[in-house]
């Protein structure tokens, strides 16, 4: 079972990619220089079929983590234990380093919005989510990672900031954090806050993973589309995050307009170079 660690002791996987079906064959044939893969859990929560077969074969060569989109941990709908049972079966099969889902709600009253909706940042919502995260962790026998989402709306009821909300939930539920650097940037633009203020407030020892992704500008908003290369401001924010948090397992999420694997490998090398440059600079300033 994963335990909360000091940041220097956190498990570290290196630089990874989201595993996408477009790349199954290439990954098996070429064994690319990727340290690990993240899978979308729901794509493999089935009894058989080709994707599961590919997953088993690719898993033999790469460490993996599981990332879900359907837990709806913030909803007032009852937790779906059928879903959690399937998740646990997949967890036993894949033996991932950890599993994650989003700090959001995706529906209520039987309606699925097919979107990751932000939470109202209130004490009532903190208690609600903490109780549900604790139930999930008890059921899974593991700590889970919660990811910050991009948002385009806010609630009049919110009493605290998003970063205070995320920190409170993580501390009280004793769960871990998947910090999506692109989502921090997107929300900072849409809601007009300083993204570095967000990063500085997050407890380093709980951050086990970073997401990076691309977005698009639309009217006066940024939309989190995952269909573009990572933008320069997100790379800059990533460099700040590396300075603050140290070595955190990092991966690129590309979900649409998926390029050949070779293009993603070039982008992943850019990510690696930025992080390693930060570590070298830190090392030099320590020994100077």
Question: Residue 117: which region, alpha, beta or left (left: phi > 0; alpha: psi -120 to 50)?
Answer: beta
Q: How far is the CB of 215 from Fe ion (least distance, A)?
A: 11
Which burial class, exposed, middle or buried, applies to 35 when counting CB atoms under 10 A from its CB (0-12, 13-18, 19+)? Answer: middle
**Helix (H, G, I), strand (E, B), or coil: what is residue 101?**
strand
User: Under the criterion CB under 5 A, does residue 211 sit at the interface with Fe ion?
Assistant: yes
Stretch of 7-15, 47-55, 104-112, 209-217 lying at the interface with Fe ion (CB under 5 A)? 209-217
Tokens of 43: 């794509």
Residue reference for tokens 């203020």:
197
Candidate segments 41-49, 151-159, 162-170, 173-181, binder of Fe ion by CB under 5 A: 173-181
Q: Write the burial class of residue 40 (CB in 10 Å: 0-12 exposed, 13-18 middle, 19+ buried).
A: middle
For 34, 211, 252, 262, the CA distances from 269, given in Å and listed in that order, are: 10, 15, 11, 11
Q: Among 20-28, 110-118, 203-211, 238-246, which window interacts with Fe ion (CB under 5 A)?
A: 203-211
- Binding part of the chain for Fe ion, among 83-91, 194-202, 210-218, 260-268 by CB under 5 A, reads 210-218
Closest contact distance (angstroms) between CB of 169 and Fe ion is 17
Residue nearer to Fe ion on the CB measure, 168 or 224: 224
**Nearest distance, CB of residue 48 and Fe ion, angstroms:** 28
Rounded least distance, CB 119 to Fe ion, Å: 16
Asked if 180 interacts with Fe ion (CB under 5 A), we say: yes
Nearer to Fe ion by C-beta: 18 or 63?
Answer: 18
**How many residues bind Fe ion, per CB under 5 A?**
2
Q: Report the residue number, 52 or 69, with the smaller CB distance to Fe ion.
A: 69
Site string for Fe ion, 36-75 (x = CB under 5 A): ----------------------------------------
Within 8 A by CB and 6+ apart from 263, the residues are none
Closest by Cα among 228, 231, 145 to 185: 231
Longest dimension (CA), the chain: 60
Residue among 132 and 254 whose Cβ is closer to Fe ion: 254
List all residues 6 or more positions away from 256 whose beta carbon is below 8 Å from its beta carbon: 225, 226, 227
215 touching Fe ion, by CB under 5 A: no
CA distance 58 to 33: 13
Is residue 226 close enough to count as binding Fe ion by CB under 5 A?
Answer: no
Decide: is 254 part of the binding site for Fe ion (CB under 5 A): no
Q: Applying CB under 5 A, which residues contact Fe ion?
A: 180, 211
């Amino acid at each position: 079972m994963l335990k909360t660690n000091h940041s220097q002791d956190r498990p570290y996987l290196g630089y990874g990619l989201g595993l996408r079906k477009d790349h199954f064959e290439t990954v098996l044939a070429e064994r690319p220089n990727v340290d690990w893969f993240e899978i979308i859990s729901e794509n493999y929560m089935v009894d058989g079929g080709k994707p599961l077969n590919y997953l088993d074969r690719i898993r033999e060569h790469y460490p993996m983590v599981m990332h879900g989109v359907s837990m709806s941990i913030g909803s007032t709908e009852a937790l779906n234990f059928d879903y959690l049972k399937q998740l646990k079966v997949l967890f036993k099969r894949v033996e991932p380093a950890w599993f994650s889902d989003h700090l959001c709600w995706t529906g209520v009253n039987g309606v699925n919005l097919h979107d990751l909706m932000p939470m109202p940042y209130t004490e009532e919502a903190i208690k609600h989510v903490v109780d549900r995260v604790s139930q999930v962790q008890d059921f899974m026998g593991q700590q889970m990672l919660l990811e910050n989402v991009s948002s385009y709306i806010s609630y009049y009821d919110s009493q605290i900031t998003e970063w205070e909300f995320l920190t409170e939930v993580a501390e009280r539920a004793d769960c871990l954090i998947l910090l999506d650097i692109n989502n921090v940037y997107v929300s900072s633009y849409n809601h007009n806050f300083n993204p570095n203020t967000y990063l500085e407030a997050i407890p380093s020892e709980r951050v086990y993973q970073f997401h990076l992704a691309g977005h698009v500008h639309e009217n006066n908003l940024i939309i989190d589309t995952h269909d573009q290369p990572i933008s320069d401001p997100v790379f800059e924010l990533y460099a700040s995050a590396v300075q603050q948090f140290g070595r955190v397992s990092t991966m690129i999420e590309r979900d649409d307009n998926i390029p050949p694997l070779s293009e993603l490998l070039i982008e992943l090398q850019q990510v690696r170079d930025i992080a390693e440059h930060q570590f070298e600079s830190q090392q030099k300033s320590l020994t100077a």
